[in-house]
Amino acid sequence: MEQNYNHPEWHKPENLVYKRTDLLVDRPLSYCPGCGHGTVHRMLMEVIDELGAQDKTIGVSPVGCSVLAYDFMNIDMLGAAHGRAPALATAIKRLWPERFVFTYQGDGDLAAIGTAETIHACNRGENITIIFINNGIYGMTGGQMAPTTLEGMKTATCPYGRDVATMGYPLRITDLIVHLPGVNYVTRQSVHTPVNARRTKKAIRHAFDIQSQKKGLSFIEVVSNCNSGWKMSAVQANKWMEENMFPYYPLGDMKVDGVIVEPKSGTVKE
Amino acid sequence: MGELRLMKGNEAIAESVIRAGCDGYFGYPITPQSEIMEYLMAEKPFERTGMVVLQAESETASINMIYGAAGTGKMVVTSSSSPGISLMQEGISYLAGAELPALIVNAVRGGPGLGTIQPSQADYFQACKGGGHGDYHMIVMAPASVQEMADLVKVCFDLAFKYRTPVMMLSDGAIGQMMEKVVLPDPIPRRTDEELIRQCPWAATGKQKDRDHIIITSLDLDPAGQEKVNLKLQEKYRQIEENEVRCESIMTDDADYHFVAFGLSARICQKSVDLARAKGIKVGLFRPISLFPFPKKEMNEIGKKSKGILVVEMNAGQMIEDVRLSIDSHVKIEHYGRFGGIIPSPDEVVRALEQKVIGG
């Protein structure tokens, strides 16, 4: 049957099942098809929209694939130097305590060059939200080894696979952050299925509520794919992520209201 | 009339920062300027004016805190000394690229490397010629006394906001540590958030319904766009060179010979002028206060009437390049420098004038 997408019935408010939030700018994303960034952007902007906080939010974007996040998020934003987003966010929140302040960072930005800024912002218990996209690779620069690259995983700078004896171990930085007393909420999520995307959105909402209540830092790791960097199709990449990334980076809440909890799904491969 | 106090230079800066209505200080301890943060922490401006004071985990973090705060229109300052300022260069380049106002105090110490904690002027090039990557300048002010340090704080903040550019106060260990009487400026209240939003429509303060979202960045991947950014910056620097030159001439009217010096060296040369004149040598002192913009025209005027110039610096010869570029006559221009934290005595400066310029 031929469908008429311009049929007036389709545009009645009661038949509306999805609408792009106005907080996402209407322009093509710069991300590869299949990448998780776009979904996380949407979850984040939907939360801010639902809170009615467009005028009360200041975001900080990183250097990496999401360097241009400010082009897609219809809120005031600052682009940080590589790794320094938590330093910017610290000062912004201290000087604008009634604004929601978040950073959006990748694994190279947050867990390699920006490790010091990450750890110390967390340790000071800055009342900000850090959203950390972990896809185990440097996407923007062309697929080099990241601090989170799994053992044996091949990248442009470890073409024979990550050899932990010479290249170090994949860094579970979120597991370190859990132990810092200034951190109120830590969770590890994904966006590769609708149910996981909804859980991520719920986590972001919780993180923003924590900011309102001035309870300390909230940290959300999103384990994501990089089908281009991993040289897989989007479907293959999501399957590979489930089979390889989730065992090492198990999903679930890790700290709630200042209390450390065991992740429910997945087991840690030692 | 302001309040009269006996203070260290570093303390005078800190107190003047509070009185200028500053919103925040972010810094990391390093000798010889740690008194700035120590004074602020003890003085509790967060109770006096609401000003935020935060000790960061590194100079890298503190300059990026400055970047974040400045991007939201807040009036902020950091301070450090040479090795710490080297760490800040990336952030300063970002501030210049994103056109953000900030005050950076550098109490210069001897280098290179970890060098020494004693005073030096070896970072003239780094301060005046860019320092970080890309074609940019900071406005650079060089105080020669505790009073001038106090006075320049407000001047630097005003210039930073007028031109939306990072401004450096280039001091050194000696001026920062010496105690002098100082008349403090009258306090100015901090701007309210509403005033800030009105005065800084470019700042990322939270998207209002009646305007587009604001993006603070130094990134433009399109070469044509990035060239435009650079042309805009160069036009700004031209305007700064046109309008913001500051310098002082001491006993230059009847002088045959001239010292040219900034900051602490100028302070020493003031005494050298007296010593030389007591010996019958007519010497004057030309002191650039703004190092960028360098007082080119005024320097050239001195060059036209001078029989010989001695540039005195606590480095191997850095400002002398700007002196030479400014003077289009053939007057003899020599350099006298000490390094590594050694402060020249007024006597040796006079001897250098006699040997290198008059007798040489």
**DSSP readout, B244-310?**
---EEEES-TT-SEEEE--HHHHHHHHHHHHHHHHTT--EEEEEESEEES--HHHHHHHHHH-SEEE
* Residues B142 and B54 both lie in one domain: yes
Whether B216 and chain A come into contact, CB under 8 Å, resolves to: yes
* B286 within domain boundaries: yes
Which of A256, A255, A252, A229 has the alpha carbon at shortest distance from A240? A229
Instruction: Look at residues B241, B258, B240 and name the one whose alpha carbon lies nearest to residue B249.
Output: B258
Mutate to test the interface with B, among A26, A68, A88, A105 (most CBs of B within 10 A): A88
| A77 part of contact set with chain B, CB < 8 Å | yes
Would the CB atoms of A55 and B208 count as touching at under 8 Å?
yes
Determine, for residues B213 and A76 on separate chains, whether the beta-carbon distance falls below 8 Å: yes
Higher pLDDT, residue A269 or B189: B189
Task: Please check whether residue B204 lies inside any domain of the structure.
Answer: no
pLDDT of residue A269 exceeding 60, the answer is no
Question: Which residues does chain B have within 8 Å of residue A67's beta carbon, measured at their own beta carbons?
Answer: 219
For the entire predicted model, the pTM comes to 0.96
Distance CA B152, CA B62 (A): 22
In this prediction, residue A1 has a pLDDT band, given cuts at 50, 70 and 90, of: low
CATH number at residue A128: 3.40.50.970
Mean pLDDT of A44-51: 98
Instruction: Report the residue of chain B nearest A73, measured CA to CA.
Output: B213
B237 part of a folded domain? no
Strand A252-256 versus strand A259-260 pairing type:
antiparallel
Number of domains forming the structure of chain A: 1
Name the pLDDT band for A9 (thresholds 50, 70, 90): confident
The answer to whether residue A268 scores a pLDDT higher than 70 is: no
Closest residue in B to A61 (Cα–Cα) = B217
Q: Which pLDDT value is given to residue A266?
A: 45
Report phi then psi at B39, rounded to 5.
-60, -45
Report CB contact under 8 Å: A76, B67: no
- CB contacts < 8 A, A to B, total 125
- Is B217 an 8 Å CB contact of chain A? yes
Kindly tell me if the per-residue pLDDT of A5 is higher than 80: no
**What is the helix (H) or strand (E) element at residue B76, kind and residue range?**
strand B76-80
Mean pLDDT of A177-186: 98
Q: Which of residues 65-104 of B touch A (CB under 8 A)?
A: 65-69, 71-72, 74, 76, 90-91, 94, 98
The strand pair at B290-292 and B139-141 is best described as antiparallel
CB contacts of B62 in chain A (<8 Å) are 87
Question: By the CB < 8 Å criterion, does A22 face chain B?
Answer: no
Q: Which residues of A touch B208 (CB under 8 A)?
A: 55
Cα radius of gyration (chain A): 19
**Residue-number span of the structural domain to which A135 is assigned:** 30-260
CB-count burial class (<10 Å; 0-12, 13-18, 19+) for B254: exposed
Nearest CB among A70, A73, A120 relative to B61 is that of A120
Binary contact (B60, A87; C-beta < 8 A): yes
Asked if A88 lies within 8 A of B67 by C-beta distance, the reply is yes
**In this predicted structure, what is the pLDDT of residue A263?**
63
**How far, rounded to the nearest angstrom, does the alpha carbon of residue B44 sit from its chain's CA centroid?**
26
- A80 in reach of chain B (CB within 8 A): yes
CATH value at residue B318: 3.40.50.920
Chain B contact for A117, CB < 8 A?
A: yes
Q: How confident is the model at residue A213 (pLDDT cuts 50, 70, 90)?
A: very high
Q: Report CB contact under 8 Å: A95, B217.
A: no
Q: Is residue B206 part of a domain?
A: no
Give, for A129, the enclosing helix (H) or strand (E).
strand A129-134
Which of B24, B193, B207 minimises the CB distance to A54? B207
Are residues B153 and B74 part of one domain?
yes
Identify the DSSP state of A24: B
Other CB atoms within 10 Å distance of the CB of residue A231: 12
Domain total in chain B: 2
Residue where one domain finishes, among candidates B161, B194, B227: B194
* pLDDT at A23 > cutoff 90: yes
Among B156, B176, B194, the domain-final residue is B194
In a domain, B219, yes or no: no
Q: Which helix (H) or strand (E) holds A256?
A: strand A252-256
Q: How far is B150 from chain A (nearest CA, A)?
A: 24
pLDDT (tens digit, 9 = 90+) per residue, A123-175?
999 999 999 999 999 999 999 999 999 999 999 999 999 999 999 999 999 99
Q: Indicate the pLDDT class of residue A2, thresholds 50, 70 and 90.
A: low
Q: Is A142 left (phi over 0), alpha (psi -120 to 50) or beta?
A: left
Question: Is residue A248 included in any domain, yes or no?
Answer: yes
Q: What is the Cα–Cα distance from A148 to A247, expressed in whole angstroms?
A: 13
pLDDT on residue A11 = 79
- Asked whether the predicted pLDDT for residue A267 surpasses 60, the reply is no
pLDDT at residue B203, as a whole number? 98
User: Omega before B112 cis (within 30°)?
Assistant: yes
Q: Is B177 on the interface with A (CB under 8 A)?
A: no
Q: What pLDDT was estimated at residue A265?
A: 54
Angle made by CA atoms B65, B66, B69, in degrees to the nearest 5? 85
Contact B218 A91 (CB under 8 A): no
Contact A44, A204 (CB under 8 A): yes
Which burial class, exposed, middle or buried, applies to A3 when counting CB atoms under 10 A from its CB (0-12, 13-18, 19+)?
Answer: exposed
Contact B53, B40 (CB under 8 A): yes
In 10 A of CB B301, how many CB atoms?
Answer: 16
Q: A268 or A10: which carries more pLDDT confidence?
A: A10
Residue of B nearest to A58 (CA): B206
Q: For residue A60, list chain B residues with Cβ-Cβ distance below 8 A.
A: 68
Section A57-75 average pLDDT: 97
- Inform me whether the C-beta atom of residue A71 falls under 8 Å from chain B C-beta atoms: yes
- Asked if residue B180 and residue B36 are part of one domain, the reply reads yes
> To the nearest whole number, what is the mean pLDDT of chain A?
94
Summarize the confidence of residues A177-187 as an average pLDDT: 98
Q: How far apart are CA B311 and CA A112, in angstroms?
A: 46
Which residues in chain B are contacts of A78 at CB distance < 8 A? 67-68, 71-72, 204, 215-217
- Interface check B58 vs A, CB under 8 A: yes
Q: Is B67–A89 a contact, with Cβ atoms under 8 angstroms apart?
A: no
B286 touches chain A (CB under 8 A): no
Q: Is B236 inside any structural domain? A: no
The CB density around residue B241, as the number of other CB atoms within 10 Å, is 17
Quick one: average pLDDT of A253-261?
97
Contact yes or no for B68 and A92 at CB 8 A: yes
Which chain A residues touch B61 with a CB distance below 8 Å?
84, 87, 90, 116-117, 120
Q: Is residue B214 part of a domain?
A: no
**B67 within a domain of the structure (yes/no):** yes
What are the residue ranges in chain B where pLDDT is below 70?
1, 360
**With contact defined as beta carbons under 8 Å apart, do B261 and B287 qualify?**
yes
Instruction: Report whether pLDDT(A253) > 60.
Output: yes
Q: How many CA atoms lie within 13 A of B65 on its CB side?
A: 33
In a domain, A1, yes or no: no
Establish if A54 touches chain B: CB-CB under 8 angstroms. yes
Interchain contact A239–B (C-beta under 8 A): no
Given B23, B58, B71, which is nearest A78 (Cβ)?
B71
Q: At what angle do helices B59-71 and A85-95 cross, to 10 degrees?
A: 50
Report pLDDT for B321: 98
Beta partners for B337? B313
Domain that holds residue B344: 248-358
**Predicted confidence (pLDDT) at residue A198 exceeds the cutoff of 90:** yes
Query: Which among B179, B194, B209 is the end of a domain?
Result: B194
Closest approach of B270 to chain A, Cα-based (Å): 42
Please give the Cα distance from B320 to A238 (Å, whole number). 63
List Cα–Cα distances, B249 to A73, B279, B283, B299, in angstroms.
Answer: 54, 21, 11, 10
Rounded CA gap, A77 and B106, in Å? 29
Distance CA B33, CA B113 (A): 18
A262 pLDDT higher than 80: no
Cβ atoms of B97 and B218 within 8 Å: the answer is yes
**Nearest chain A alpha carbon to B51:** A95
Structure-block tokens of residue B69: 């705060």
- What CATH number corresponds to the domain at position B21? 3.40.50.970
* 8 A C-beta contact, residue B144 and residue B290: no
Give the gyration radius of chain B's Cα atoms. Answer: 21
% of chain A residues with pLDDT over 90:
89
